[in-house]
A and B are shown apart, each in its own frame.
Chain A
Amino acid sequence: MKKMICLLLCMLLFTGCASHGTEEQMMVVLLGIDRTDDGSVKVIVKAPSFSGNSDPSSPSSGDGYLTLTASAHSFSAALTLLHATSPRNLNYSQTRQILLNQDVLRDDPNIIHTLGQISGMRSQTTLSICKDPAEDVMKAEKPVIGTRLSRYIDTTLETGIREGFIPDSTLIRVLTHQGGGYQDALIALTGLSLQDQQNQQQQQQAAPVFNQSTQHTAGNMPTVSGKAIQWMGSAALNGNLLTGYLSGFETMLCHFLTKNIGSMSFETPHGVLSCTPRYGPYLSLHHDGDAYTLCIRADLNVLPIYGASVDLAEADKSLTLVITQLLHTLQSLRSDALGFGRIAVRNYLTLDAWESSRWKEQYIRAQTDVDIRLTLVNE
């Protein structure tokens, strides 16, 4: 019996390599979805060609990666066409990023669910929204550091998430949020940096520096940043509907308030402060009759960086204002990205009672109450 079980487990472990050789399939690293001018959906995949022949005259294999496209009236039809025309079976188990053009998501809100249904799709794939055509972003996406695109994307995304400027929007996480109804998902925003856009004759305005007072989203970034692709900010969803965008700072603030990052940089007129929590931040709901109040309490240590001088009262007021604005922004976008629904659901005993409470309507109308206390720390 023991021998049989060992044999069976070994067979299970080796089946992948036995049935599919590396050169018998295409490992999709990037998947992009665009809306074309005639209204059809275009699916683009980028996969390593595993070929030593890098012919620069060939547009598809110049960088060691093969780009395949297919267009049809719907995403499913385009994907089917792509599978039919690709030289090998498409394997999505190593897909690192899905680039979804904003127009596609607006036209077909269920597309994220459809993406989750693709056979063999890696659940930890990062989902990104782009305002620019996904195909342009994919063309520009190259490993600036290192040689492997997959590793480059992984590391760059990890850095962005750790800094807090983009949300952790893996496909499974977004699907879980969409299915749960307790919290709305934020999806990372990806775009071409200004320089790259100018190269493609796309005139857009650049913002001079990054701070919380300007709307910094991908595609609206400094001209020189060392890479053509930027990950910055997030797309806010209401259920599965795309309702708007948050800047990089707003996304970082969301991360900080939900305790996903341990510190946050905050700009005052006198300089930049680094905030770390002493207590909290705590999210709570006050219930008075039919009216809810969204409450945020935090006791923070602030450390001036780059030689900034600190006026605590002013910084306190400024931070309170910024958080209140964030709450109002999220309410206007009908997006409960901070997860107040997770707290509200505790007041209900059954799912029927929760569903009939129409939480989202109450969330949009709710008052806000932000109480921030700052303590100065000198190194």
Chain B
Amino acid sequence: MKLTQTATQVHSPSSQLHQRWEAYVSDQYKLSALSLLAQLWLSHSLFLTDRVSTPSYLSMLLILAPASALYLWTLLLSRQVKKDTGILTALLPRMLGRGLEWLIALSLLTDAVFLLCGVSSLLGDILPTLRHYLIAPLIALFAASSLMRNQPFALIRLAGFLFFPLLAGITLSSASALQEGSAAHFFPLLGKGASSICMGTVWLCGNLGSICLPLLMPGEEAALRRMRQKGKRRGMLALLACMLFSALISAMYTYLLSPYALSDAASVGMRLLMPVQISSSIPGWSLYVCALILLLLIAYSGSVSRCAAFFSGHCTKEKHAPDWLIAIVILFTVPCAVFYSHRLQNLLIDLLPYRIIPYLISLLFTSAGAAFQWIKARKQA
């Protein structure tokens, strides 16, 4: 037996390439999954808690249907691409494809603004002595220093590395507060009514942009297809796990808090920290706060990085967005978080559901492009 030889031939250049692709695709999905979890969690605190009340977890479960449909649609389109470029530019005329990429980048910019407002509100409530206007620039500086100089790939790798520890940390820390909850808080089962649950689901659909991840992937070359498929399968599980996890988080809030506990006046940060207020476990809430901050920071940095990638048209592994573009995207996200107020929060609530529209428009155009190419190929055959 050769103890020094590994079971797989990792030293072979092709195996190394395959494994890297597999890990890259899987990590991209995990970053999307964490981003989705962070956005759903923020959405729960911003909108669902007071407008849907007790059955917010039902709204979270119901978005599984549109999310699955959206994912399958995107996946189907990605299989039509044979070139090593982004889907939009591969299936559509270049100018139109780039235009749609810009549209998606705007949606990602709104994601980043939303996440930055959430994380700065959270930090503002944790550190009341820190001047409010300093928090958002500090986070932006942190994101800039961690993303520039070819670091977006490090972020993707970090998301893959921290995926399970983060979920485990949130679960463990929340467990300490569960003894303070009550199953009676799940009643009345429909809360403010079935219409409010459906309204919550529709509102949450704005967060489903992360589901359209295959739009980020370059076209599939035959040699690497198998390895990418393996990465996709693992990534799909991560996406599903995070959507179910967000439903569990909603259920946890319902279990811990009575329907009347959250008022309109509470900030997003205060609402995120509600389980901490209830829990008597100091290690538990410390872990909860750390895990939550990490999750939001990774999601924010991921949104900034992807936004810059879509603006520059560099959505592939080999290329990355230029530093100056990342800096500009970050600068655009900061003012909203610095001047965050109740009025601005209401504006965000009105705006956020529309983030899904660029994706839907892109998918519609791309479907038309794919159908056109298929007809053209058939005619030629």
Contacts and interface: CB of A to CB of B under 8 A. Distances in A.
Contacts of A15: 127, 129-130
A8 to B, nearest CB: 6
B258 A352 contact: no
Given A9-B290, A12-B126, A180 B261 contact: yes
A346 B277 CA distance: 27
A2 B294 CA distance: 11
B297 A5 contact: yes
B280 A348 contact: no
Contacts of A179: 258, 260-261
A349 to B, nearest CB: 5
Contacts of A1: 146, 151, 154-155, 158, 301
A124 B184 contact: no
A4 B139 CA distance: 11
Contact of B260 (A19, A170, A180, A341): A180
B53 interface: yes
Contact of A345 (B145, B184, B261, B290): B184
Interface string A21-52: 00000000000000000000000000000000
Contact of B129 (A19, A170, A348, A349): A19
B373 interface: no
B187 A181 contact: no
A109 B119 CA distance: 35
A346 B187 contact: yes
Contacts of B129: 15, 19-20
A353 interface: yes
Nearest to A349: B190
B277 A123 contact: yes
Contacts of B130: 15
A119 interface: yes
Contact of A172 (B53, B193, B277, B294): B277
A120 interface: yes
Given A1-B155, A5-B294, A176 B188 contact: no
A4 B142 contact: yes
A343 B189 CA distance: 13
| Most A Cβ at <10 Å: residue of B128, B258, B293 | B258
Nearest to A345: B187
Given A1-B155, A15-B127, A19-B129, A8 B142 contact: yes
A180 B258 CA distance: 5
A342 B190 CA distance: 16
A57 interface: no
A353 B192 CA distance: 9
Contacts of B261: 176, 179-180
A351 B142 contact: no
B188 A180 contact: no
B15 interface: no
Contacts of B190: 349-350
A282 interface: no
A181 B258 contact: yes
A182 interface: yes
Interface residues of B, number: 38
Interface string B252-277: 00000111110000000000000001
B180 interface: yes
Interface string A175-217: 0100111110000000000000000000000000000000000
A180 B257 CA distance: 8
A351 B188 contact: yes
A143 interface: no
B280 A124 contact: yes
Contacts of A19: 129
A348 B128 CA distance: 41
B187 A119 contact: no
Contacts of B184: 182-183, 339, 341-343, 345-346
From B151, B192, B277, B293, name the one whose CB has the most chain A CB atoms within 10 angstroms.
B277
Given A4-B142, A179-B258, A348-B187, A342 B182 contact: yes
Nearest to B128: A119
A350 B258 contact: no
Contacts of B155: 1
B158 A182 contact: no
Interface string B216-258: 0000000000000000000000000000000000000000011
Contact of B188 (A2, A4, A350): A350
Contacts of A350: 188, 190-193
Residue with the greatest number of chain B CB neighbours at <10 A, chosen from A173, A343, A350 = A350
B178 interface: no
Interface string B91-133: 0000000000000000000000000000000000011111000
Given A9-B290, A342-B184, 17 more contacts: A1-B146, A1-B151, A1-B158, A8-B293, A12-B127, A120-B128, A123-B278, A124-B280, A172-B180, A176-B261, A180-B259, A180-B260, A181-B258, A339-B184, A350-B192, A351-B259, A353-B188
Interface of B: 53-54, 126-130, 142, 145-146, 151, 154-155, 158, 180, 182, 184-185, 187-193, 257-261, 277-278, 280, 290, 293-294, 297, 301
Give me the 6 closest cross-chain CB pairs, A-B, nearest first.
A180-B258, A342-B184, A345-B187, A1-B146, A123-B277, A348-B188
13 contacts: A1-B154, A1-B158, A4-B146, A12-B293, A15-B130, A19-B129, A124-B280, A170-B280, A181-B260, A342-B187, A350-B191, A350-B192, A351-B53
